[in-house]
Structure 1
């Protein structure tokens, strides 16, 4: 993500797909976004449902190795205090 409007995204952080088929009364959307959490990790947010409705949301938190080690170290310090 960049502030320069002329810069193209090499790795997009959002994907929106729609499927519309009037013959089957089908109007669906699928949205996936990658977002940062408060600790600097990445979250994959998946949304899907009928166009015009709120749909469903699923969040997958991805913790990298360094963050996992930091969390484990902090928990170990707390258990010994």
Structure 2
């Protein structure tokens, strides 16, 4: 699964945030879902979740993406 980049910009509320999801294979057959989020222009925060299979990781990442899209995040426009 590719890295998913989302952002939410609302100038009226002085809000400029990013959210990134990355799924990577581990060394021992497990799968890592890394979340990275924060205000655009900062280092932000990160959290890793280790899951036992690709299917579980894809489902978990999909749920997180759907949550963020419901809160107003969207994919940035291509340059």
- Taking structure 2 as the reference length, the TM-score comes to 0.61
Gaps of 5+ in 2: 54-79
Contact 1:34–1:45, Cα closer than 8 Å, also in 2: yes
Within the alignment, does 1:44 sit opposite 2:33 as a pair? Answer: yes
**1:37 Cα shift?**
1.4
Q: Which residue of 2 aligns with 1:28?
A: 17
Q: How many residues align?
A: 53
**1:40 Cα shift?**
3.0
Rounded to whole Å, the distance in 2 between the matches of 1:44 and 1:16 is 14
Gaps of 5+ in 1: 1-11, 65-81
Cα RMSD, aligned residues only = 1.2
Runs of 4+ displaced beyond 3 Å: none
